[in-house]
Amino acid sequence: MVKVKVSCAHQEGEFIPGITVLEAITQLCPDQAKEALVAEINGEVKDLTTKINNDCQIKPLTWNDEAGRRALRHSAAHVMAQAVKQLFPEAKLAIGPAIEDGFYYDFAVDNPFTPEDLEKISTCMEQIIDQDLAFIRQEMARDEARAYFVAKGEQYKVELIDDLPPDATISLYQQGDFVDLCAGPHIPSTGYIKAFKLLSVAGAYWRGDEKREMLQRIYGTAFANKSDLEAHLRLLEEAARRDHRKIGRELDLFSLQEEGPGFPFFHPKGMILRNELEAFWREEHRRAGYQEIRTPTILSQELWQKSGHWDHYRENMYFTEIDNRGFAIKPMNCPGGILVYKSRSHSYRELPLRLAEMGLVHRHERAGALHGLMRVRCFTQDDAHIFMLPSQITEEIKGVIDLIARIYQVFGFNYQVELSTKPENAMGSDDIWEEATASLKKALEEKGMEYKINEGDGAFYGPKIDFHLQDCLGRTWQCGTIQLDFLMPECFELDYIGEDGEKHRPVMIHRTCLGSIERFIGILIEHYAGAFPTWLAPVQVRILPITDHQSGYAKEVAVKLDQARIRAEVDGRNEKVGYKIRDAQLQKIPYMLIVGAKEIDNGTVAVRHRDQGDLGALTVDRFIQEIGREISEHRTGRGN
């Protein structure tokens, strides 16, 4: 009999065809067999129960591999669906994928799931896991699979089958008496799931379409062991404590109103925070040689057709009509910046020309995707567009990298870098994309920066470098971006007069540092848990008179602070000073100045810091000097 050759972790063996992947791993590299969840067979992720009938290379994938984690969590979603069907037989199954840090499953049920229901489902899942039921894969002809789910009354599965390509393989997975439509892969059996937790229930439109029916989505998570699960749950608790929507309400920074879904309202204190952030941004850009512009929010339909947004981004845009002419509310600032450049002629001596804009943009997001300040329908991009000579590309990209790094350092953020390449719906030729991508790589490598390639995720007009900053909880957020564009200058016929007196085409960089101002504020709220560094804090100092007798002195101190451009307020309530201190702490105010009879006699204030406690007595002038230096230097640290 002809045997198949199998290699695994530099070990090779010959086996009778039909051996399973797990059996081969057990014989070739037994140390890895105990930890394996799924495996790569010639680069394709498969079940460990897959039979080997041809020569191949196999690679065991464990919890330490993303594909291993996804398989375990996806299998946990199937176990949850099985439990739901046992407890609620009338429930209809939709989809149940693994997601980052967990899984979910969507169900159609007559009544929303309650917290008590989740407890019952969790108990039932534990029973299914204890049974150690095997995940068994079977493949069916399309008609047979369709008829099976029609007979079961599972209309969502039928719709999924109908939408699969004609040549698609239809596969089902079974554990016990539960069968689900699924491409896989899965772990060998339910007993592999060692630690899970059901987290919450939310409404979700079928296929994310607001015109379709609302389903019930149960979220859960699963980990390799209970200690990792407990650590993750603690992290979730801390994230909930830092939720920017909760803190935004408590500190009266912003609100979200039913009258404007996805359109946040900034309150006075939130505007102070926002204005300080924008002032910092403007000063950094002034130093880096940028000039600020402002472009209209509504521009003609023809402009967006010319820029390519009409063909590539129209479903995310809002439209209106003025004087029987079509217009669009801008989703991006670049066409406006291009028109500013195009408004007059330019010499090569002017380039690079760096035009920065705090531009308000509107993009249509589905209602189910909206999330506080993190996902909104209108936001301000800290945009800039750099028009330059081809010879200036590398140095300009490096300059933007330096600017972004400098800004993130002020907030104590670490970051990771990704290079995103040509997407499927891209404009332009492969040659132009290869040249642009090579230019970005060159700049990154000359800066000595580590980066990873994100295939196919570039903008439709050019490749980009994305900066993913990391907050104090280890979460990453994509904020800064650098996009290199050879195409829009061509579309808009941009030019400059070269040294030879002839017209030439400039190259363009689109870039942001903070990304969305609204989103960045949301990130800062969660990073600092509302305890902003002094230079950003809406109220920097609260003055606390011990009794009414010190109210006049407290107001005098407040006037001096105001004259020094320090944001201060007096707590003149008829409350004990301990109560006032606790309230100031809850409001995350950086400094409290306590004034009593002794402070009046000595012309001082008793200084208390929200984190460091009592700092002793200082004269008002000395305090102003010290806090002024802290503010001007933008001193900060990592989140609390």
- Catalytic residue numbers read 334, 363, 381, 383, 385, 464, 510
CB 102 within 8 A of CB 200: no
For residues 629 and 590, give the distance between their C-alpha atoms in angstroms, rounded to a whole number.
Answer: 14
Phi-psi region at 456: left, alpha or beta (left = phi > 0; alpha = psi -120 to 50): left
User: Phi/psi zone of residue 147: left (φ > 0), alpha (ψ -120 to 50 degrees), beta?
Assistant: alpha
Per the CB < 8 A criterion, the answer to whether 479 and 379 are in contact is no
Report helix angle 115-130 to 66-87, nearest 10.
Answer: 110
Rounded to whole angstroms, how far apart are CA atoms 337 and 485?
13
CB 380 within 8 A of CB 332: no
Interior/surface letters 458-491, b for 16+ CB within 10 angstroms, e for the rest: bbbbbbbbbbbbebbeeeebebbbbbbbbbbbeb
Q: DSSP letter at 2?
A: P
Taking a C-beta distance cutoff of 8 angstroms, is the pair 358, 382 a contact?
yes
Residues near 363 by beta carbon (within 8 Å), at least 6 away in sequence: 316, 317, 331, 377, 378
The β-bridge relationship of strands 353-362 and 291-292 is parallel
Least Cα distance to 533 among 427, 619, 639 occurs for 639
Assign residue 272 a region: left if phi > 0, alpha if psi is -120 to 50, beta otherwise? alpha
- What does 448-476 look like in DSSP terms, one character per residue? T---EEETT-SBTTB-EEEEEEE-TTS-E
Listing DSSP states for 217-247 in one string gives EEEEEEESSHHHHHHHHHHHHHHHHT-HHHH
- Phi, psi (5° rounding) for residue 496? -145, 160
The strand pairing partners of 535, in sequence order, are: none
Measure the CA–CA gap between 560 and 625, rounded to whole angstroms. 12
d(CA 634, CA 611): 17
Q: Mention every residue, 6+ apart, whose C-beta is less than 8 A from residue 493.
A: none
Name the nearest CA neighbour of 327 among 290, 373, 296, 369.
296
CB atoms within 10 A of CB 35: 14
CB atoms within 10 A of CB 502: 9
Q: In what order do the strands lie in the sheet with 38-41?
A: 11-15, 4-8, 56-61, 38-41, 44-46
- Give the Cβ contact number of residue 372 at 10 Å: 19
Cα(72)–Cα(184) distance, rounded to whole angstroms?
11
Name residue 233's amino acid.
Answer: L
Query: Using the 8-state DSSP alphabet, how is residue 55 labeled?
Result: -
